Structure 1
Amino acid sequence: MTTVTGMKCACESCLCVVSTNDAVEKDGKYYCGEACANNHADGKGCSHQGCSCG
C-alpha cells in the first residue's frame, strides 16, 4: 500500500504542492492555505513564492 503525503493544491491556478498533513482540507480537497480553500473570497492569492493564483 502506498500512502500519498504530498499533492498539488486543489486550487486550479495554484502551483503549490502541499503535504496532506499540513494542508487545509475542505470538501475532501486539499489546499495550501485558507486563501485557496476559500476560493480567494478576499481577492488575495496564497502569497507563496512563485505562485500567482488568486
Structure 2
Amino acid sequence: MTAATVTQMKCACTSCVCIVNLSDAIQKDGKYYCSDACATGHSSGAGCSHHGCECHG
C-alpha cells in the first residue's frame, strides 16, 4: 500500500465551497483558507470573491 499525499482540500470556512491548493492556501490556526476574507471570518462582510461561491462566514 502506498501513502497518499493531500495537495488540495475544502476551504476551512464552513459556508465556502472552494477547494484550495495547500501550497497556495492561507494558513491560520492550523486550518487552510482560500482567501483573507475566509481566514478572518469575513470580519468586513466580504465574501471570498471566487466565481460561484457566495460565502460570507
Same fold (TM over 0.5): yes
Task: Report the TM range for the smaller structure's normalisation.
Answer: over 0.9
Unaligned runs of 5+ in 2: none
For 1:25 and 1:50, the matched residues in 2 are separated by 22
Report the TM-score, using the length of structure 1 for normalisation.
0.97
Residue in structure 2 matched with residue 2 of structure 1 by the alignment: 4
TM-score (structure 2 length as normaliser): 0.92
Aligned length: 54
Q: CA RMSD in A?
A: 0.4
Q: What SS does structure 1 have at the residue aligned with 2:27?
A: strand
Tell me which structure has the larger Cα radius of gyration: 2
Taking only the aligned residue pairs, the percentage that are identical comes to 61
- 1:13 corresponds, among 5, 12, 15, to 15
Q: Which runs of 5+ in 1 are unaligned?
A: none
